[in-house]
Amino acid sequence: MSPTGISRRQALKLTGSAVGGAALLAGCGSGLAAPVTSGDVTLDFWTHDEGYETFFRDGIPDADAATDFRYTLDATRAGAQDLVTKLLAQAVAGRGKPDVIGIEIGQFARLQRGDLAERLLYDWTDRVAGLGDDLIAARRAPYTKDGKLYALDSDTPMVVYYQREDLFSQYRLPTDVGSWEELAQVGAQAAQQHGVALGVLAAGSDLGQIVQGFQMLLLQRGGAFFDADENLVLDSPEAVETLQFVVDGLKDGWITTVNDFYGASVQAGLKSGKIAGMWMASWYSAFGLKPNVPEQAGAWRLRALPAWSAGGFATAAAGGTGFAATVDQSGTEAAAEFIASTWITPEGQVRRFQELTYLPTLRSVFDSPELEVADDYFGGQQVIDVYRSIVDDVPDYYQSPDSSILNDVLSGHLVSAYRGDESPAQAIRGAAEDFANQAGR
């Protein structure tokens, strides 16, 4: 914790590029406020999602009972990017920062520059040490900087395969293929004979979604964008192999492209039955499938991803939001107590699954019988069984303060490869070179 906050000169030096070129950061704080150690406390709570606000408000009685505080939340909702921008701006101005902030995983990368995270966010490392391996390591990695953990994730958003059981049955497609290579063979025949796709990639204007569709497969294959030291490791045999696989799938027609994973184009594909399967994260059930095609309730099933013949993991993880407390606030300790007593207790994680459908980040909670709920949308399937079978093989996901640069350059090269304008090897190498030129490393 810094006793004096960030100086204007330090912050400008550290973060000028971290906020998209806007000259935002400079000094923060005009001194430490007297800490609140017990009793009534109102926490400034920032989030981009109403569901999180509701969850934490509903958790106040538990927090009151577990701590020396009596909580009230003063909530602010804004876009995920705007929240981090506002946090940095408030630090510059020396005005009030939030006590609790939900940081979307991609936005946390902006706080990895220099020692921003250390100066702005509460260090959870020692506090969660007692949880050991029960706090899934793969969900610590995205919010860790220099070995310190600065936010607690909302989810273990494992990537699974969604498939239309009725269409697979109608076209006599096997529902239990063991490998991606087998699925590609099945998919090529399905595309040729029935005009259906068994995989989907985004290729519209949302660069993050373009990258994410490829990244999910790459992580499962054993590749990565960055290592634990924030070094770019994209240019690898695994990356070229994975991109070659999807390019071949697009040529064979069993993978199709949509503008994005949520809008009209994917909805049209789903409603027409032209999309019969896709790999996506666990949250896509609640935010993609069910709202886009509620009439297909009962037709979908969820299974573990096929394996890569050359090796890799059982799944990947995509997305997430880490909740953090800020430092140098009168309510810092109260905020940390609030998060700890609502967000990472077994009871809180069960309630989070029941109310928000987010999977636990504590390994032991996956064995909780309260998670065994039949999902009518998936034909009465207990989806937790699928996640239990793969949760012990989730790869780590590391970010870099320059993640946004990689998203920009890689998305362009991926679309170029999809169109056949570059070979997969050229696209991966080109993205790595463009990143090096723009990031200066």
Q: What angle (nearest 5°) sits at the alpha carbon of residue 109, between those of residues 108 and 113? A: 115
Burial call 5-39: b when 16+ CB within 10 Å, e when fewer: bbeeebbbebbebbbeeeebbbbbbeebeeebeee
Judge contact between 69 and 290, C-beta under 8 A.
Answer: no
DSSP state string for 378-420:
GTTEEHHHHHHHHGGGPPP----TTHHHHHHHHHHHHHHHHHT
105: tokens are 């995983």
Q: Per-residue confidence at 31, pLDDT binned at 50, 70, 90? A: low
201 pLDDT band, cuts 50/70/90, is very high
Percent of the chain with pLDDT over 90: 90
14-23, 159-168, 261-270, 398-407: range with lowest mean pLDDT = 14-23
Q: Which tens digits make up the pLDDT trace of 165-185?
A: 999 999 999 999 999 999 999
* HSE-CB of 321 using CA atoms within 13 angstroms: 22
Q: Using 50, 70 and 90 to split pLDDT, how confident is the model at 440?
A: confident
Confidence (pLDDT) at 4: 31
Give the pLDDT band (50/70/90) at residue 32: low
Taking 70 as the threshold, does the pLDDT of residue 315 lie above it? yes
Interval 389-411 mean pLDDT: 96
Residue type, 16: G
What was the pLDDT predicted at 350? Answer: 97
Name the residue with tokens 């009168």: 330
* Residues near 428 by beta carbon (within 8 Å), at least 6 away in sequence: 234, 235, 236, 239, 240, 243, 413
| Mean pLDDT of the region 19-24 | 39
Is the pLDDT at 10 greater than 50? The verdict is: no
Asked whether the predicted pLDDT for residue 405 surpasses 50, the reply is: yes
**Residue 91, pLDDT score:** 87
Instruction: Please say if the pLDDT value at position 78 is more than 90.
Output: yes
Kindly indicate the confidence band of residue 316, based on its pLDDT and cuts at 50, 70 and 90: very high
**Mean of pLDDT values over 118-141:** 96
Rama region for 172: left / alpha / beta (φ>0; ψ in -120 to 50; rest): left
What is each CA distance from 437 to 82, 210, 286, 408, 416, in whole angstroms? 27, 21, 39, 13, 19
pLDDT category at 230 given cuts 50, 70, 90 is very high
The answer, yes or no, to whether residue 69 has pLDDT greater than 60, is yes
Could you tell me which of 239, 279, 246, 273 has the C-alpha nearest to residue 261? 279
Average pLDDT score over the chain: 92
Please tell me the predicted confidence (pLDDT) of residue 430: 98
Of the pLDDT bands very low, low, confident and very high (cuts 50, 70, 90), residue 309 is very high
Does residue 5 have a pLDDT over 90? no
**How is 132-154 classified by DSSP, letter by letter?**
GGGB-GGGTGGGEETTEE--EES
For residue range 36-67, list pLDDT tens digits in order.
Answer: 999 999 999 999 999 999 999 999 999 999 99
For 321-379, how does the pLDDT look when each residue is reduced to its tens digit (9 = 90+)?
A: 999 999 999 999 999 999 999 999 999 999 999 999 999 999 999 999 999 999 999 99
